[in-house]
Amino acid sequence: PMATTTTTTTTTTTRPLPKGMILDKDGKPCRSCNSGQAFAAWAAQTKKKLPTTPVKKRTDCPADSETLGRSTWTLLHSIAATYPRQPTSTQQTDLTSFIKLFSKFYPCWVCAEDFQAYIEREKVKAGSRDEFGNWLCEAHNEVNRKLGKPEFDCKRWEERWRTGWKD
């Protein structure tokens, strides 16, 4: 049976959450941890009636896990693309600290926990643009494998993120 909560003005029915829905620490579905599709499915399920008019799809909504992920990888790989070929020791420690701190604040907490564990296993390599670009590409591939996405050929990371494709 479904749990029902009653207030003085409204009656809401608490429906079971879809399987695999990741929750925030407050027990609510985590927007930045789930795909937009999963989130929309849950949101539709919580509505009592189906809408009679088609729902206008907005593009200016809080980021789901995919929008957030794509934007973040774009930033990180672009940082790799502009990182010096011969960084100073300060730049190397700054970049390493940045990646570590970034991993603590990444809004998708499940992603963040796995990424922190990855950084513990595979220490950030910031000795040169090439070194960091490849390290980041491998880190991204680790997430790709986890999500069942194709692996990227890391020999081509610079073509993708700095020079543009040769062919």
Helix H or strand E segment including 94: helix 89-105
| DSSP characters over 47-85 | SSS--SSPPPPPSSS---HHHHHHHHHHHHHHHHHHS-S
Stretch of residues binding ligand FAD (CB under 6 A), selected from 8-16, 40-48, 50-58, 64-72:
64-72
| Size of interface with ligand FAD, in residues (CB under 6 A) | 23
**The one among 32, 69, 83, 87 contacting ligand FAD by CB under 6 A:** 69
Asked if 161 and 133 touch (Cβ cutoff 8 Å), the reply is yes
Stretch of residues binding ligand FAD (CB under 6 A), selected from 43-51, 55-63, 87-95, 143-151:
143-151
Task: Provide the 3-class DSSP secondary structure of residue 11.
Answer: strand
Stretch of residues binding ligand FAD (CB under 6 A), selected from 9-17, 66-74, 89-97, 123-131:
66-74
- How far is 157 from 81, CA to CA, in rounded Å? 9
- DSSP letter at 29 equals B
127 vs 160 by CB, closer to ligand FAD: 160
76 vs 87 by CB, closer to ligand FAD: 76
65 is a site residue for ligand FAD (CB under 6 A): yes
